[in-house]
Amino acid sequence: MLRRPISALLTAALVAVCAPACLSTRSPGSSAPSPARPSLPPADVPVPGSPAQTPTSSASDTPRPPAKPSPTPDYRLPIVGSSAAITGKAWTNMLSWRKRIAEFSKEHPDRVVLNGPDRPRVALTFDDGPDDRNTLSVKETLDRYGVKGSFFLIGEYVRQYPDVAKKLADDGHLVLSHADRHVELTKAGEDEVKASLRDAAAEIKRAIGREPAWLRPPYGETDERVVQAAASIGSGIALWSLDSLDWSQTEPEPIVQNVLDHVRNGDIILLHSGKDNAVTAKALPSLIEGLQAAGYELVDLAALLDRPAYLE
């Protein structure tokens, strides 16, 4: 496969961002989206987010080609991704969370996953939907490029927009659980955690007729109780290995550059498609084109992990 220099990829990214096809999916007011989600915890709360590197991102001279598959079956990736918009204590907490959750996942290899196998395939995953604008805009872009996405939906929003959840499923995208409300499950009582997971799964089943086999806890906050609560309803926990940190940006270019700079074989890429994530919808065409040009196949989570998306 011929690979273009990264400068060409980023030029293509700028063109794609400004192209009419992309503008047609832009929701009203998306030119100045909020730089952070309203549900973002304060700076002293660990937030899933960037690599154990300095919070800067610069383009390399050549695109990162997919690595050759490793003979080691235990293929574990550190969580990466950076944003110059995140500094100080918030950045330190992110790095601390990443290290802690990576160690925790090793204790539960069959229940908690951060990435897929060492093959040139990645999965685009989207949190915090559904809504009636950005989720649909993301879906339309994915459909246009023939890419299947994996959507971790919040139960209370599925109750508001069941038709959006159904459209996602009907067009072949995965509809998975992001709990019933966007709160830190590790700070909730055991009964509250179990109720949140059951309620979200029930809402999704009402909307699409199937019950998800994967949970992504809000903020990625996971502990032993959350793992056991998920297991009690048949769910595994799918986190991520590459954080786009899209919620921290007001323009699409840094999102695209961050992902292209850090992508590796088997990455589960964290993005968002909620009501405050119009910038993600704007970045998506350039992101898809850049990943494909670098030689990566874009698949859904079930295909990446070779594990079912729904309970039988």
Show which residues are catalytic: 127, 272
91: buried, middle or exposed (CB in 10 Å: 19+, 13-18, 0-12)? buried
CA distance 171 to 96: 38
Among all chains, which residue has been given the structure tokens 């093959």? 119
Distance of alpha carbon 219 from its chain centroid, rounded?
Answer: 11
CA distance 121 to 150: 14
Token digits for 111? Answer: 């229940």
CA distance 197 to 185: 10
Is residue 29 a contact partner of residue 86, using CB atoms and an 8 Å limit? no
Residue from 161, 265, 260, 257 nearest 203 by CA: 161
Expressed in angstroms, the distance from the first to the final Cα of the chain is 39
Q: How many CB atoms lie within 10 A of CB 16?
A: 21
Is residue 193 a contact partner of residue 226, using CB atoms and an 8 Å limit? yes
CA distance 298 to 247: 22
> How many CA atoms within 13 Å lie on the side-chain side of 290?
32
Phi-psi map region of 141: left, alpha, beta (phi>0 left; psi -120 to 50 alpha): alpha
Residue 60's SS3 state is: coil
Residues 6 or more apart whose CB falls under 8 angstroms from that of 229 comprise 185, 190, 193, 194, 197
